[in-house]
Structure 1
Amino acid sequence: MKRFEDKVAIVTGSSNGIGRATAILFAQEGAKITITGRNSQRLEEAKQEIQKSGVPEAHVNVVVGDITSNSVQEELIQSTVDKFARIDILVNNAGGAILDKMGNLGVNQSLDNFDETLNLNMKSVIVMTQKAVPHLEKTKGDIVNVSSIASGPRSVPDFNNYSLSKAALDQYTRNSAINLIEKGIRVNSVNPGVVVTGASEALGLPKEISEKYLNVLRNSKHCVPARFVAKAEQIAQAIAFLADRNMSSYIIGHQLVIDGGTTLVTGMNATNFAELMN
């Protein structure tokens, strides 16, 4: 029996990257799945990838739209329950950095950018959680939030608003975990480091610049000690672990860091003192 047989999962932001990889994995492991995103073409590609795994079309529910829209949030919950009669797992994956319209970085990022970023990375998670809880309480379900190592405690000076939103998400994970375990619902998060997802290109970086950037990271031991950049499928495996009651039943309110050692490096241990002393 597959580990998510007879389970129903919603994965937000599942048209690409980590969300798509997670939706495919859950479906392959037996779950009926709701996928969602703004780009209908990419969502169709995700659906086709799921079906190539031998998953019946009837096991896939597709909702096109912006996760920050209340009507889309309502449709995600209602269409899932209408089609599959239950919800067992909610993966709050939709999110990302949003460029300031004036190109400002750090503390100069605008309040409009702050509001837009928080609306995507934090408010949508709160609302989706609230809407899903009555259904998850019935199934003793699980929530996995997708955060980032940008949440701290180290600084991310250029993307101030993004890092603030992810820090808030980490605290929300901890708070909601204690609130909801009383209803039998577990809440955890994954906090990835550098992952190949296409996010940099979505921010407007040309593909060749994105590749150069990733190569610099993977070849610098003080950036990624593991010396490779994760694939979306590796993060999906961690999400599946946290959503699997048989594998992680005693883990509650945890932030699972998946970063190839990035957050273990400090300025001191990244420095070659032997070279400096010569």
Structure 2
Amino acid sequence: MACFVNKVVIVTGASAGIGAATAVRFAQEGANVAIVGRNQERLAKVAEDCAKYGRNPLVIKADVSKDDEARSIVAKTVEAFDKLDILVNNAGIYKYDDIQKPDFMEIFDSIMTTNMRAVAFLTNLAVPYLIESKGNIVNVSSIAGRCVGHPHRTSYKTSKAALNHFTRCIALELAPHGVRVNSVSPGPVATEIFNTAGLPDALTTLKDATALGRVGESEEIADLILFVASDKAKSITGSDYVSDNGMLLKQ
């Protein structure tokens, strides 16, 4: 029997990569999914993939970094399904930066706004409904939040380190209400984020940097997210699950 029948799930950054794979897996397991992203065409494709399992998702075109649009995500989901059980904060951006360059703060602010502030705001909006449903939150972080190597990624790494600590703090705060909060930290995964960042060849280098000599697939991370969000993990909160093909072992 499907694990998430009639559960209501929001997945941000669902138009591609890990978010898309996660949305489809939740639909496959019987959930009502709200898929959130900025690319309408890609969202439509993900919606088709979800619908193959008998569940038409709620498609929400929104930029999580904009407060009004973030508000609409939670409002539209609750309006459509009357509740919220799981929030997957997956939306994120990745850019190179250089502390010596004039555009450093512009890049820093844009990354922190999307990768950290938007998560905090969406969590704030979703919490009343999650307390009511005794639901949970899964934040998609990165092993970049744990390591310092490889320069010119300061903004991204700082955002993910902040996200990890935010996860732990909110897990403690919401535990008395029966709401679990965890994070998943992938290593390199074959997604569009590198192309979007203008780094199409990055995966080749990153593959060689892993102990297992491979990069992850979006579906692997989706499966981990579903486990953490499921009742199989009902004793787990404030934890960070790493799936990196052993990359941290070589840092």
Band of TM-score, shorter chain: over 0.9
Q: Which residue pairs with 1:14 in the alignment? A: 14
Given the alignment, which residue of 203, 212, 217 partners 1:214?
203
1:181 has 2:175 as partner: yes
1:47 aligns with 2:47: yes
Please give the residue correspondences for 1:96-111 in structure 2 after superposition, counting only pairs within 5 Å: 96-99=93-96, 104-106=97-99, 108=101, 110-111=104-105
- Report the AA paired with residue 150 of structure 1: A
* CA–CA distance in structure 2, aligned partners of residues 44 and 240 of structure 1: 22
Secondary structure of the residue aligned to 2:177 is coil
User: Which of structure 1's runs of 4+ aligned residues deviate more than 6 A?
Assistant: none
Residue deviations 1:71-127 (CA, integer Å, cap 9, x gap): 21111111111111110000000012135xxxx525646112111111000000000
TM-score norm. by structure 2 comes to 0.95
**Matches of 2:100 and 2:31 in 1, distance apart?**
43
TM-score by length of 1: 0.86
CA distance in 2, matches of 1:106, 1:260: 30
Identify which of 54, 76, 79 aligns with 2:76.
79
In the TM superposition, residue 160 of structure 1 has moved relative to its aligned partner by 0.7
CA-to-partner distance for each residue in 1:2-46, whole Å, 9 max, x for gaps?
A: 100110000000000000000000010010000011110011111
Q: Which runs of 5+ in 2 are unaligned?
A: none
**Given the alignment, which residue of 224, 234, 238 partners 1:238?**
224
**How far off its partner does 1:201 sit?**
0.8
User: Is the CA contact (8 Å cut-off) linking 1:107 and 1:160 kept in structure 2?
Assistant: no
Aligned match of 1:64 in 61, 64, 79? 61
Distance 1:49 1:72 in 2: 24
Task: Please tell me the residue identity of whatever aligns with 2:117.
Answer: K
SS of 2:131 mapped into structure 1: helix
Given the alignment of the two structures, is residue 124 of structure 1 paired with residue 124 of structure 2, yes or no? no
Name which of 174, 186, 195 aligns with 2:189. Answer: 195
Alignment partners' CA distance in 2, 1:90 and 1:156: 31
C-alpha distance in 1 between matches for 2:14 and 2:48: 13
Whether contact under 8 Å (2:130, 2:179) holds in the other structure is yes
The CA RMSD measured in Å over matched residues stands at 1.4
User: Could you tell me how far apart the structure 1 residues matched to 2:229 and 2:148 are?
Assistant: 28
Larger Rg: 1
Q: Residues 51, 90 of structure 1: CA spacing in aligned structure 2 closer, same or farther, 3 A cutoff?
A: same
Q: Residue type matched to 2:153 in 1?
A: F
CA contact (8 A) 2:14 2:20 kept: yes
